[in-house]
């Protein structure tokens, strides 16, 4: 009995001691092995590019040549030579990072690191320098694939960016400000981030310190696998402010596969202008919660218009993949094979509807793809003029709330005779309101001949009618 009481007391004492010992926080990750294992696979990228510069532009800052005094002509002759303004070649350089994709010499970096380069030099950790060949690059995803004549290179291991989770540790290796093979660490701050200028890339947002020179370098997970390419930062000062973005490695490898197979990158195009679904809009469209991509406009002569999409459709699913927010849709469509027929589930009139659409290739000019204009703009041949869509950011400046087309070019013909000028906005023609550029061209095809028709234009903020007359 006494032994039992003693044992009980001992157990209580041990329990109290265990509870009294402070609980230590989980240790921070150890990066030394990761850096040692992968440092040799990270490279420095430098480029040389010859640009033309007028010698007179090389005057010291703050010195201006007064016009009409004769002094400016003297300096032009002195600096630019007897012909005045003869361009002088100037060699410029850029610096960035990259990494070895495979042992046989394939190397990845950013498009903006090698853009317009005449010579690309890859420097390895042992200071060996090799000239690289540019196999291809893609400006939209900011990915470039290089090739050097080398074998048995130390290459990185590739991970799966789809497995990333917000809050997990990641590490970047690169050359910020020219300091070779610098390592910085942080966590994944957000996934699937869409930036205004890069809607086809679902960026990985991190708080890893990224500075000029880091661009093109790898982003590693704790398993030593590359999950992204460091691409850009958000900054109001030009320096790192705690927000950086990396291109997911699955997006990168899709670009690499296309460059290797066809030498360029093509993307799927649907042809809709979309916006987020707010709580109020969700209720009005019969949705239980805000979800999907709301179609605010269907681009004329696009896959979406041919498939029967309408403004007001809420895209909930595209080709078997759910669309949670509007930013989810462009990357999904962009990675869809050109020519593929995709099933799209939309909410229309409070009912779910499936639409079949054949995906086409995204035009080279993304702005044209968004507005529906074709390369070369829309041409109204019988009026001898060219028009284009009014971009959303232009409407406030032009004071045009909806519809209308911008006049881009006017040649000798009926439009010029009527007094229409480049820069005018055509709001209606023959008493028919103009919806967009495609609609304008269709209206002009049915205009009567030898009979004046009214054209409502807006010029310098003022509306006025002009009389347009077609000949036989």
Q: Which two tokens stand for residue 168?
A: 């997990």
**pLDDT tens digit sequence for 189-240:** 999 887 765 667 889 999 988 888 888 999 999 999 999 999 877 655 556 6
**pLDDT tens digit sequence for 309-349:** 988 889 999 999 999 988 889 889 988 988 999 999 999 88
Residue 253 binned pLDDT confidence (cut-offs 50, 70, 90): very high
Residues 164 and 252 occupy one common structural domain: yes
Query: At 324, which CATH number?
Result: 2.30.42.10
- In 3-state terms, what secondary structure has residue 65? coil
**Alpha carbon 12 to its chain's center:** 64
Is 297 among the domain residues?
yes
Residues 384 and 309 occupy one common structural domain: no
Is 53 among the domain residues?
yes
Residues 303 and 248 occupy one common structural domain: no
Note if the pTM is more than 0.75.
no
What does the pLDDT read at residue 247? 92
Residues 162 and 140 occupy one common structural domain: no
Q: Which of 262, 296, 331 is the last residue of a domain?
A: 262
Within the chain, how many helices (H) and strands (E) appear?
A: 12, 28
What does the pLDDT read at residue 23? 47
pLDDT higher than threshold 60 for residue 81: no
Is 22 among the domain residues?
no
Is 85 among the domain residues?
yes
What does the pLDDT read at residue 82? 45
Structure letter (DSSP) for residue 11: H
Q: Which of 148, 176, 202 is the last residue of a domain?
A: 148
Secondary structure element (H or E) that encloses residue 261, with its range: helix 249-262
Residues 389 and 295 occupy one common structural domain: no
Residues 243 and 295 occupy one common structural domain: no
What does the pLDDT read at residue 431? 84
Q: Average pLDDT of 450-465? A: 81
Is 92 among the domain residues?
yes
Is 116 among the domain residues?
yes
pLDDT higher than threshold 50 for residue 66: no
Residues 50 and 144 occupy one common structural domain: yes
What does the pLDDT read at residue 323? 92
**pLDDT tens digit sequence for 116-164:** 888 999 999 888 999 999 999 988 889 999 999 998 999 999 999 889 9
Residues 171 and 227 occupy one common structural domain: yes
Q: Single out the residue of 191, 188, 192 nearest to residue 200, CA to CA.
A: 192
Residue 12 binned pLDDT confidence (cut-offs 50, 70, 90): low
- In 3-state terms, what secondary structure has residue 425? strand
**pLDDT tens digit sequence for 35-54:** 989 989 999 999 887 554 44
Number of domains in the chain: 4
Residue range(s) defining the domain that contains residue 300: 268-362
Sorted by sequence, the CB contacts under 8 Å of residue 102 that are 6+ apart come out as 153, 155
Is 217 among the domain residues?
yes
Rg (CA), the chain: 30
- Catalytic residue numbers, as ranges: 112, 142, 215
What does the pLDDT read at residue 75? 39
State the average pLDDT for the chain. 80
Residues 329 and 384 occupy one common structural domain: no
What does the pLDDT read at residue 342? 93
Q: Which of 262, 283, 309 is the last residue of a domain?
A: 262
Query: At 194, which CATH number?
Result: 2.40.10.10
Residue 171's beta-bridge partner residues?
185, 220
Residues 112 and 186 occupy one common structural domain: no
Is 4 among the domain residues?
no
Which of the two residues, 427 and 84, has the higher pLDDT score?
Answer: 427
Residues 344 and 434 occupy one common structural domain: no
What does the pLDDT read at residue 206? 92
Residues 279 and 247 occupy one common structural domain: no
What does the pLDDT read at residue 316? 94
């Amino acid at each position: 009995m006494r032994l039992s009481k003693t044992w009980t007391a001992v157990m209580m004492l041990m329990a109290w001691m265990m509870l009294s010992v402070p609980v230590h926080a989980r240790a921070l990750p150890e990066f030394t092995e990761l850096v040692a294992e992968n440092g040799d696979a990270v490279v420095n990228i430098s480029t040389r590019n010859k640009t033309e510069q007028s010698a007179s532009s090389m005057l010291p800052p703050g010195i201006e040549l007064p016009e009409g005094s004769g002094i400016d002509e003297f300096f032009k002759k002195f600096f630019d030579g007897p012909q005045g303004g003869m361009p002088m070649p100037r060699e410029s350089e850029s610096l960035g990072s990259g990494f070895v994709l495979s042992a046989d010499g394939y190397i990845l970096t950013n498009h903006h690191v090698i853009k317009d380069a005449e010579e690309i030099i890859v420097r390895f950790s042992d200071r060996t320098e090799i000239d690289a060949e540019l196999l291809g690059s893609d400006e939209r995803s900011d990915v470039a694939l290089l090739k050097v004549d080398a074998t048995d290179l130390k290459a990185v291991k590739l991970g799966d960016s789809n497995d990333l989770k917000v809050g997990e540790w990641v590490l970047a290796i690169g050359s910020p400000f020219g300091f070779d093979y610098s390592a910085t660490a942080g966590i994944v701050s957000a996934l699937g981030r869409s930036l205004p200028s890069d809607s086809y890339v679902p960026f990985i947002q991190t708080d890893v310190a990224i500075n000029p020179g880091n661009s093109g370098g790898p982003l590693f997970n704790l398993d030593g696998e590359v999950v992204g390419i460091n691409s850009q930062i958000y900054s109001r000062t030009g320096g790192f402010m705690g927000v950086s973005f990396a291109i997911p490695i699955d997006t990168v490898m899709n670009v690499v596969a296309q460059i290797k197979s066809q030498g360029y990158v093509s993307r799927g195009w649907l042809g809709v202008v979309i916006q987020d679904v707010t709580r109020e809009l969700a209720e009005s469209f019969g949705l239980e919660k805000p979800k999907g991509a709301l179609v605010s406009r269907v681009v004329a002569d696009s896959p979406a218009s041919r498939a029967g999409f309408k403004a007001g459709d809420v895209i909930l699913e595209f080709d078997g993949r759910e669309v949670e927010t509007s930013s989810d849709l462009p990357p999904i469509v962009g990675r869809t094979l050109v020519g593929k027929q995709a099933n799209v589930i939309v909410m229309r009139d409070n009912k779910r509807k499936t639409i079949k659409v054949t995906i086409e290739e995204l035009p080279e000019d993304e702005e044209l793809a968004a507005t529906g204009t074709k390369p070369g703009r829309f041409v109204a041949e019988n009026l001898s003029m060219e028009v284009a869509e009014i971009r959303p950011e232009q409407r406030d400046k032009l004071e045009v709330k909806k519809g209308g087309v911008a006049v881009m070019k006017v040649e000798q013909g009926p439009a010029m005779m009527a007094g229409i000028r480049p820069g005018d906005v055509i709001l209606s023609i023959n008493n028919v309101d103009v919806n967009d550029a495609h609609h304008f061209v269709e209206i002009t095809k049915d205009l009567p001949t030898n009979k004046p028709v009214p054209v409502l234009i807006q010029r310098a903020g003022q509306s006025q009618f002009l009389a347009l007359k077609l000949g036989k």
